[in-house]
Chain A
Amino acid sequence: MKILISNISNIPLYQQIKDQLKDIILKGEMSDGDPLPSIRNFATDLKVSVLTIRRVYNELEQEGFITSQVGIGTFISAGNLELLRDSKRRIVEQKMQDLIVAAKTLKISKEELNEMMNILYEEDE
């Protein structure tokens, strides 16, 4: 698990950690039931406060990414992952909608648009 904290960023520490953990879960780098480090160990390794990690865990639990069991630990909860991936898909769909509108006004055909998409998609990789 890789988490990097930026000291020059304006994003609050807990947000930086939360976003990166979310990415790790969404990309499937950790799967259902995998244990997360204890709050104290996590905080010590990242040199942040236990209160910050506690906040990250609490918020991720509320959003359904993880579950914590008192006295046992905190675990990835991928049961809702399909739901979460769906919501990510919806974000992309929305952007595509904008794209299609722009293409239509500029009289770019569907084939041309697909072609452009293919080129750009592969360039990025």
Chain B
Amino acid sequence: MSNVLEVSGLNKSYERFSLSDVSFSLQEECITGFIGINGSGKTTTIRSILGLAMKNAGTVKFFGKDMDKHAYELKNRIGFVLDDGGFYDELTMKEMKSIIAPAYSSWNERDYKTYMERFTLSPRQKISTLSKGMRMKFALTLALSHEADLLIMDEPTSGLDPLMRSEFMNILTDYMKQGGKSVFFSTHITSDLDKIADMIILINNGKILFNEEKDTLIDTHRLVKGDNNNLNAQTRKLFLNIQETGFGFTGITNKLSEVQKNMKDILVERPTIEDIMLGYIEGGGK
């Protein structure tokens, strides 16, 4: 499988925040979830790889080609949905479309109309009057209407209710079924990813903590619950993080067999992505 995106040594500094040596790659035909808490660098990373923010150092290659040299050609193949949408509020959706469509050589008017109907959006409605969910649908319509092979989205599900989120997941699944497509999106609602993601990338403090297959990640980590008297200096080291209350402890481990050797009467469960994410962030990325 080839990589649709390769990022290496990406650096970007702001006054109070910086991305340091961000490197990762996305596999073709995979949905990759980009997770991290607020302010961890998700949006900065996405804006930098799309060329919307100037990077200080690093290379970004889409489909094997350098983004700096082939920006126009590559952007045709990428559909993106950004946090704020970047729309002019005073325009109608039809007017906004007529500004965006000419920017793509592969614009497909039929796809555009199909999605507008599927999402029951009326072209004459002003963008300022759209609800959060409708704005996202409109942004997605534009992103999907130029035969893009890669969708990149920044927090597309934030502010959406569970029903809308589930509809969004169905749209992504349909998109992937066309074959040869890939999706990369950031989110802090990790339950979305439990169902749909193939790969998970975790970023914290501007650094990538891991880039792993979702199922492998869950197979290799366990949520352990047990009595506090199991905890000592040695057994504590087996956990990424530990929460203790008067009733016992809960912790995330990636060394289950050692835990089972050293602890008695414990409950072992499969973790969610959120459990693992918090384990790495609270544990300081051990």
A50 near B195 with CB under 8 A, answer no
Q: What is the minimal beta-carbon distance from B240 to any residue of chain A, in angstroms?
A: 19
The B-contacting residues of A in range 4-50, CB under 8 angstroms, are 7-8, 10, 12-14, 38, 40-41, 43-44, 47-50
Q: What is the minimal beta-carbon distance from A58 to any residue of chain B, in angstroms?
A: 11
Q: What is the minimal beta-carbon distance from A14 to any residue of chain B, in angstroms?
A: 7
Q: Number of A interface residues, CB 8 Å?
A: 17
Contact of A7 among B30, B197, B199, B270 (CB under 8 A): B270
A55 to B104: give the CA distance in the assembly, Å: 37
B270 near A50 with CB under 8 A, answer no
Instruction: Determine, out of B71-79, B94-102, B129-137, B213-221, the stretch whose residues face the partner at the interface.
Output: B213-221
The A-contacting residues of B in range 218-243, CB under 8 angstroms, are 218-219
A10 to B260: give the CA distance in the assembly, Å: 12
A41 to B268: give the CA distance in the assembly, Å: 31
B114 within 8 Å of A by Cβ?
no
Contact of A49 among B177, B179, B214, B270 (CB under 8 A): B214
Contact of B198 among A13, A14, A51 (CB under 8 A): A51
Q: Find the A residue at minimum CB distance from B27.
A: A51
Most buried by A among B30, B173, B219: B219
The B-contacting residues of A in range 44-90, CB under 8 angstroms, are 44, 47-52
B 9-29 to A, binary, CB cutoff 8 A, 1 in contact else 0:
000000000000000000101
| Contact A48 to B29, CB < 8 A, known contacts A8-B269, A40-B176, A41-B177 | no
Q: Find the A residue at minimum CB distance from B1.
A: A54
A51 near B195 with CB under 8 A, answer no
Q: What is the minimal beta-carbon distance from B252 to any residue of chain A, in angstroms?
A: 16
Q: Find the A residue at minimum CB distance from B194.
A: A47
Q: Find the A residue at minimum CB distance from B197.
A: A49
Q: Which 9 A-B pairs have the closest CB atoms?
A: A49-B198, A12-B219, A52-B215, A49-B215, A13-B215, A51-B213, A49-B214, A50-B198, A51-B198
Point out residues on A near B: beta carbons under 8 Å.
7-8, 10, 12-14, 38, 40-41, 43-44, 47-52
Chain A to chain B contacts (Cβ below 8 Å), 12 pairs: A7-B270, A8-B269, A10-B256, A10-B268, A14-B215, A40-B176, A40-B179, A44-B173, A49-B198, A49-B199, A49-B213, A51-B198
Known: A47-B195, A51-B213. 11 other contacts (CB 8 A): A10-B256, A10-B268, A13-B218, A14-B215, A38-B177, A40-B177, A40-B179, A49-B30, A49-B197, A49-B215, A50-B30
